[in-house]
Amino acid sequence: QKEVEQNSGPLSVPEGAIASLNCTYSDRGSQSFFWYRQYSGKSPELIMSIYSNGDKEDGRFTAQLNKASQYVSLLIRDSQPSDSATYLCAVIGSGNTGKLIFGQGTTLQVKP
């Protein structure tokens, strides 16, 4: 079982729609969760961090965390073509050496 799992996609949504990206993790003791965006040929860019159960909103982005289900999601409202990228879920496990473990990423395509 992979430590952090994401559906590789591609996930295709029309412009203006809500994109929903999902991530599951195997280490039940994990405490810190992050979403990064990576455009093709570029480096990962931090979008959101979340540490507590529930929702965290920042502009058009909402991160959701459910530790009981070991599930993290990212919602992008009013999706734009410029949101087309690969979205990486990252988790710091309970062993807490501070190692960030990444999922494979989900490719999002927003169609005009």
Partner 1 sequence: NAGVMQNPRHLVRRRGQEARLRCSPVKGHSHVYWYRQLPEEGLKFMVYLQKENIIDESGMPKERFSAEFPKEGPSILRIQQVVRGDSAAYFCASSRQGGDTEAFFGQGTRLTVV
DSSP calls for 41-109: TS--EEEEEE-SSEEEEETTEEEEEETTTTEEEEEESS--GGG-EEEEEEEE-TT-S--EEE---EEEE
| Nearest residue (CB) to partner 1, 49 versus 80 | 49
Binding stretches for partner 1 (CB under 8 A): 31-32, 34, 36, 42-46, 49, 51, 88, 92, 96-105
Min separation Cβ 14 and partner 1, Å: 25
Min separation Cβ 79 and partner 1, Å: 23
